[in-house]
Amino acid sequence: MSDSGEEVDGRKRRTLRSRDRVIEAALRLAERGNPMPSADELAAAAGIGRRSLFRLFGDMDGVFAEIHARLRARLHPPLATPLDEPDPRRRVELMVERRTRLFEELLPYMKASDMRARSPFLRAERAWVDTRLRTMLELQLADWLKAEPWRIDALDAMLSLDMWQRMRHAQGMSARKSADIMLRSALALAAF
């Protein structure tokens, strides 16, 4: 049997569809409270065999790499889009609103990352998110806070994903209450 261009394209399309099914299944499982499915659970949820899963991704880190690539694509626009707001107080309000929406979306996936904390890939991904958040904070507020750089450090800690996880999980607060506390704290720290 010869490989015509059509057969190769068909195989590529099937492979891409299978990869998409696996990633969508992994995202659904995480959103439903299973952020660390076994290979068997993930393959079953995607409707493929375990061997196919490993043929498609190599290992579970390959699956996580693809999930993180998709999450980065979702995160990039809100993290990179400047806030065109001249009033510093309103800018803080918008920044907190944007972050808390993002953090709530990331919460199920962060649990998986925490469970695989030894993974160099996941540590690097987390560092990327933290660096982007810090950079955006500096870009958005440094002109108002440059006389007191400690405020940027304090805001970076208060408006972090770690703080969001702490309020939502360790303290059991609702998303609304957590967002309100972040906003009040940020406004107090920024002294607007």
Mind listing the pLDDT tens digit for each residue in 56-69?
Answer: 999 888 888 888 88
pLDDT in tens, 82-113: 788 888 889 899 999 999 998 988 887 776 66
- Give the span between the Cα atoms of 94 and 99, in whole angstroms: 9
- Give the span between the Cα atoms of 76 and 43, in whole angstroms: 29
Output the pTM of the full model.
0.72
pLDDT in tens, 147-162: 888 989 999 999 999 9
- Give the span between the Cα atoms of 147 and 38, in whole angstroms: 51
Class of domain 1-58: mainly alpha
Report the greatest alpha carbon distance in the chain. Answer: 73
Identify whether the C-beta of residue 188 lies closer than 8 Å to the C-beta of residue 158: no
CA distances 183 to 22, 33, 114, 167, 180, Å, are 37, 27, 25, 13, 5
Closest CA to 94 of 187, 191, 188: 187
Sign of CA dihedral 173, 165, 89, 187: positive
Identify whether the C-beta of residue 33 lies closer than 8 Å to the C-beta of residue 8: no
In this predicted structure, the answer to whether residue 70 has a pLDDT above a threshold of 60 is yes
Whole-angstrom Cα Rg for the chain:
20
